[in-house]
Amino acid sequence: MRTPRFIAATLAATCLLPACKKDSDNATPSGNTSFSKTDYEIISTTLNLPESAFNYTGFNLPAHFLAPPVASTDNTPVNTNPITNDGATLGRVLFYDKGLSINNTIACASCHKQANSFTDPSQFSKGFLDGLTDRNSMSLANARYYVNGKFFWDERAVTLEDQTLMPIQHAVEMGMTLDSLEKKLSSKDYYKVLFKKAFSDDKITRDRVSKALAQFIRAMVSYQSKYDDGLTALGHAPAPNEDLPGFTQLENQGLRVFTANCAGPCHNTELQTMPVARNNGLDLVYADNGVGKITGRTIDNGKFKSPSLRNVMLTAPYMHDGRFQTIEQVLEHYSTGIKNHPNLDNRLKDPVTGEVRPLNLTQQQKNAIVAFLNTLTDTKFTTDVKYSNPFK
């Protein structure tokens, strides 16, 4: 079945744009943004950066990224903070710089590790004084494709640009003031070079720090999983009983069980993202009320954002408080453990009785879902040098 959406996607994917390059180009310099010789010498005393920037903008995205629904979930503010290769390069350096914490011990990357799709394998993360965060760190893969553009489990940051300065000032995480941040970064010659390259002059401001970090995070696009290959090979959205080429029988069964039970209005689109925060019945009474804690409204209690499930097999532990160590525990929750909280999402309730509608998955169905979730793993993304630590 060839829907108009996929025809549009195919047209968009025919690579007419200059930015649209071959896969092998992604990790190679884009060629148009070289440093001057003196500037390159300055940065090279501290940083391992290519002479001309990596390509953070012109991915060879598969068709299903270039058309709705995925394309319409992109939260990049194209007028005020478009991604540029130089901006994302600066963002990468900031992301890995322990100098963003007051005692030079913690970088963003300390709690958002590339090998784990930019989350932390610990339930809670250690901040600059070894204090623990009160929630589990979140994966940043495809954070760009969250349609309402809000960030954190409780969506308290209304944009990614707002979010990026918060950990820096957080009392447990990095403990800095923005005044001292600006001063500290201004004392380093390599930042003068990088800010000038990204923003036309070498003024170092909080606004630019926030924008550059947001550009780097939005450039973290994971699109090279087995699932992406399957969708590309099929060439259109799979019909309910259609198999993906290259998938095993178990993976295809998993795709169907996932689509029937987990996708729908919840983990939807080809990036398995949710449009808004929801309550998935973890508790009857929440110790942490998530969105409700921010809005003060009881109807928001126990609602949390779900990041994209891309690379989910690398992002354990799970849920806002990291309560589940394994994906099997997560499936058991949906299968038999859902609690009938007053805000429990409708999809997990019987519309007539209002009782919980547990998924009651068989062991075979659970195995199939896990096999499918494994197809969302993208190790090209988790090993790509352009997202790695640039410090020598």
Residues found near ligand HEC in the complex (CB under 6 A): 100, 106, 108, 110-112, 125, 127, 133, 135, 137-138, 140, 143, 151-154, 163-164, 167-168, 173-174, 213, 217, 305, 307
Question: Alpha-carbon distance 180 to 118, whole Å?
Answer: 26
| Closer by beta carbon to ligand HEC, 33 or else 163 | 163
Nearer to ligand HEC, 173 or 270 (CB): 173
Closest approach, Cβ 161 to ligand HEC, in A, equals 10
Under 8 Å CB-to-CB from 144, ≥6 apart: which residues?
74, 75, 76, 160, 217, 218, 220, 221
Nearer to ligand HEC, 175 or 230 (CB): 175
Task: Give min distance, CB of 292 to ligand HEC, in A.
Answer: 13
- The greatest distance separating any two alpha carbons of the chain, rounded to the nearest whole angstrom, comes to 72
Phi, psi of 152 (to 5 degrees): 85, 160
Residue 90 or 213: which CB sits closer to ligand HEC? 213
**Least distance (Å) from ligand HEC to the CB of residue 294?**
10
The Cα–Cα gap between 153 and 142 comes to: 15
Distances (CA, A) of 306 to 78, 233, 280, 345: 24, 28, 10, 13
Residue 9 or 94: which CB sits closer to ligand HEC? 94
Contact 163, 156 (CB under 8 A): no
CB of 271 to ligand HEC, least distance (A): 12
User: CA–CA separation, 28 vs 65, rounded Å?
Assistant: 22
* Shortest Å distance, C-beta 261 to ligand HEC: 23
* Smallest distance, ligand HEC to C-beta of residue 190, A: 18
Residues 110, 102: Cα–Cα separation, whole Å: 14
Cα–Cα distances in Å, from 78 out to 59, 216, 353?
A: 17, 14, 46
CA distances from 243 to 101, 106, 236, 239, 277 (A): 49, 45, 11, 8, 31
Q: Smaller CB distance to ligand HEC: residue 155 or 251?
A: 155
